[in-house]
């Protein structure tokens, strides 16, 4: 008989136990447990068919249709599960830990698998994820105007032995209108939350965690409200470097991007830049004068960031003049402030 596992036990699973999500592909794509494999009992269309039957005719007819659909797939389920979990140790779940996971558990146990079922299914897991963001985290927020090199500094802080959370890496986006450059796609906001919770669970909550100052939205991903509020109340370290250095940083990050990758976000900023500034930036882009394009963008982003600073909830804002410092010296100054 399948064992029951709790959501808060997932981070301590032994490596040989594979998590299998038997929900439909569409459900899985919306959000899933990080590292889980999708072995759907029903396709998206099949799930819709069974659901419609359940609503219109009741439970028993829906089960019969489900059996007709699943029957021919049973051998392939076992074969696919064997590829996913050669050690034959599996943790199964569906949406609420109901019939889909129970049915798959019966089949796999019958064929020699050691099976556990996640109590409450993915729904319970999502509640667990949201509870993670309510914890008290000792955050230190790294701020600074666009082009200050905060992502590189965050990585250097990690290399110095400190804990970090890289929100932009988790979101697959750099946060600005140009933020998707260099990334293929973003996770859903739900998946972003799942991935962020996993990263937080790996850290020591008794120790400080460095994190980059971000808007609530990073592309199409949104920082969970409880965690966002913790960020806003946490000590903020605002570094100031020269405008020339910021332009150099931007050219390193975006200078190799294709023309359309740069032109599209400039056009999208027309309402905020104004039509004249937008046209000027596009003209500079046409002429290959990327430093001039960067200057126009900084003028806009500086005003936006400076205003955002006035809206912070924290009373601890440390403004650090780093204009004449290299990255190692900036790190030293940050860690000693």
Give CA 276 to chain center in angstroms. Answer: 36
* CA max distance for the chain: 74
Residues in the chain: 337
Contact yes or no for 330/242 (Cβ under 8 A): no
For residue 148, give every residue at least 6 positions away whose Cβ sits within 8 Å of its Cβ, in sequence order, or none. Answer: 239, 240, 241, 246, 249
Cα–Cα dist 240/322, whole Å: 5
Q: Which long-range contacts (CB under 8 A, 24 or more apart) does 40-44 make?
A: 41/66, 41/70, 41/77, 41/94, 41/100, 41/103, 41/104, 42/66, 42/69, 42/70, 42/100
Contact yes or no for 246/298 (Cβ under 8 A): yes
Helix (H/G/I), strand (E/B), else coil: 86: coil
Q: If residue 117 lies in a helix (H) or strand (E), which one and from where to where?
A: strand 114-118
Helix (H/G/I), strand (E/B), else coil: 113: coil
Cα–Cα dist 12/7, whole Å: 10
Cα–Cα dist 40/260, whole Å: 39
Residues that are catalytic:
94
3-state helix, strand, coil in the chain (%, to 5): 55, 15, 35
185, two tokens: 């796609």
Q: What are phi and psi of 203, to 5 degrees?
A: -100, 160
Residue 290: CB atoms within 10 A of its CB come to 17
């Amino acid at each position: 008989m399948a064992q029951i596992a709790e959501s808060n036990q997932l981070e301590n699973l032994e490596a040989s136990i594979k998590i299998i999500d038997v929900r439909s592909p569409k459900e899985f794509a919306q959000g899933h447990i990080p590292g889980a494999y999708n072995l759907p009992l029903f396709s998206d269309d099949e799930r819709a068919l069974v659901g419609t039957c359940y609503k219109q005719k009741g439970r028993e007819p829906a089960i019969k249709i489900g059996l007709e659909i699943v029957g021919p797939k049973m051998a392939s389920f076992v074969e696919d599960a064997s590829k996913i979990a050669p050690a034959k140790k599996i943790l199964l779940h569906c949406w609420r830990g109901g019939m889909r996971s129970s049915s798959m558990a019966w089949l796999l146990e019958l064929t020699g698998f050691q099976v556990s079922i996640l109590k409450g299914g993915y729904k319970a897991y999502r509640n667990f994820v949201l509870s993670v963001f309510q914890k008290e985290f000792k955050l230190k927020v790294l701020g600074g105007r666009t082009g200050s090199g905060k992502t590189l500094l965050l990585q250097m802080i990690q290399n110095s032995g400190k804990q970090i959370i890289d929100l932009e890496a988790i979101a697959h986006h750099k946060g600005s209108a140009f933020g998707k450059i260099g990334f293929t796609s973003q996770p859903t906001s739900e998946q972003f939350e799942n991935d962020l919770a996993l990263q937080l669970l790996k850290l020591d909550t008794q120790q400080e965690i460095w994190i980059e100052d971000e808007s609530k939205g990073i592309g199409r991903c949104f920082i969970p409200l409880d965690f966002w509020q913790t960020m806003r109340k946490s000590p903020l370290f605002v570094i100031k470097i020269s405008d020339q250095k910021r332009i150099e940083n931007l050219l390193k990050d975006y200078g190799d991007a294709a023309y359309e990758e740069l032109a599209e976000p400039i056009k999208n900023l027309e309402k905020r830049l104004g039509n004249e500034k937008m046209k000027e930036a596009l003209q500079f882009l046409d002429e290959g004068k990327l430093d001039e394009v960067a200057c126009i963008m900084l003028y806009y982003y500086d005003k936006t960031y400076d205003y955002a600073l006035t809206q912070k909830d924290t009373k601890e804002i440390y403004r650090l003049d780093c204009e004449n410092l290299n990255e190692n010296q900036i790190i030293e100054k940050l860690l000693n402030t």
